[in-house]
């Protein structure tokens, strides 16, 4: 349901010259959680990522990743000239919706999510059992279904919607927006904001631009609901790791 799925879908129709399907889906974007502007932007970004020189990709990655604003200048320069260049050059060149779905299931999104689930459940001594399908014939059948039955008339999950049409209320069957199941990170972080800020001290200056983080701390917390937890959470992870390491070192000495 997110924009990249539609980008891959439109790219597939263009590549196969499926003009009738393309025209229908272009009109049908009024039923999608994204719009024409989002699809065009996604396709343009894909083309630019593939053909731009590496130096330009590097600059774009630096501007696109808010975390880099708070990395120490020395470390930032070092990483941009080595590791982050490789990250910026990593392109998922999905030419069809099914290719994208297979990649997400087999090598990118799903393996990462399952790893997070396993580590989080083990942290609290919970032996969780996630639903999974190990029926190879069923999996092959699902991936053999043409993309046009997965997105149709702008509606995502179209085949699933149609199969459940007699059962679902119309407002669910025709629902157009796409939202995630978010946890209230902002509500959790805000009461402990000053504690987390105190962890951002000069001992981290080798890795982080501590002065900038402390100066913009209020803004970082307030922007979190809109930007997402990841940039702030990674900064906090570094700070908490360093704090724990220092305490352990003091105990040992």
Residue 88 pLDDT: 41
Q: In whole numbers, what is the pLDDT of the chain averaged over residues? A: 83
Residue 7 pLDDT: 93
119 exposure class (CB count in 10 Å sphere: 0-12, 13-18, 19+): exposed
pTM here is 0.72
Percentage of the residues of the chain whose pLDDT score is greater than 90: 27
Report residue 132's pLDDT band, with 50, 70 and 90 as the boundaries: confident
Mean pLDDT confidence for 123-133: 82
Cα 160 to Cα 43: distance, rounded to the nearest angstrom: 26
Residue 39 pLDDT: 92
Residue 86 pLDDT: 47
pLDDT tens sequence across 63-107: 556 677 788 888 877 766 655 444 444 445 788 999 999 988 888
Cα 180 to Cα 110: distance, rounded to the nearest angstrom: 15
Cα 18 to Cα 241: distance, rounded to the nearest angstrom: 53
Residue 9 pLDDT: 95
pLDDT at 227 over 70: no
Mean pLDDT confidence for 192-214: 89
Residue 206 pLDDT: 86
Residue 159 pLDDT: 94
Residue 79 pLDDT: 67
Least confident of 19-28, 55-64, 126-135, 159-168: 55-64
Handedness of CA 171, 172, 177, 180 (dihedral sign): positive
pLDDT at 164 over 90: yes
């Amino acid at each position: 349901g997110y924009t990249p799925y539609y980008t891959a879908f439109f790219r597939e129709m263009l590549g196969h010259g499926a003009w009738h399907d393309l025209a229908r889906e272009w009109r049908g974007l009024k039923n999608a959680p994204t719009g024409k502007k989002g699809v065009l932007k996604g396709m343009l970004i894909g083309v630019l990522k593939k053909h731009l020189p590496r130096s330009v990709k590097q600059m774009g990655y630096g501007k696109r990743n808010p975390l880099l604003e708070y990395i120490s200048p020395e470390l930032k320069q070092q990483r941009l000239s080595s590791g982050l260049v490789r990250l910026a050059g990593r392109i998922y060149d999905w030419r069809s919706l099914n290719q994208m779905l297979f990649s997400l299931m087999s090598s990118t999104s799903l393996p990462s999510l399952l790893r997070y689930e396993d580590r989080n459940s083990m942290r609290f001594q919970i032996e969780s059992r996630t639903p999974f399908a190990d029926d190879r014939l069923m999996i092959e059948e699902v991936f053999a279904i043409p993309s046009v039955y997965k997105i149709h008339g702008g509606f995502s999950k179209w085949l699933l919607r149609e199969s459940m049409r007699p059962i679902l209320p119309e407002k669910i069957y025709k629902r157009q927006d796409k939202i995630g199941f978010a946890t209230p990170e902002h509500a959790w972080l805000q009461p402990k904001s000053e504690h987390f800020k105190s962890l951002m001290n000069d001992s981290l200056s080798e890795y982080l631009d501590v002065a900038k983080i402390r100066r913009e701390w209020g803004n970082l917390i307030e922007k979190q609901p809109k930007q997402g937890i990841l940039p702030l959470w990674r900064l906090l992870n570094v700070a908490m790791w360093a704090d724990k390491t220092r305490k352990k070192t003091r105990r040992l000495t």
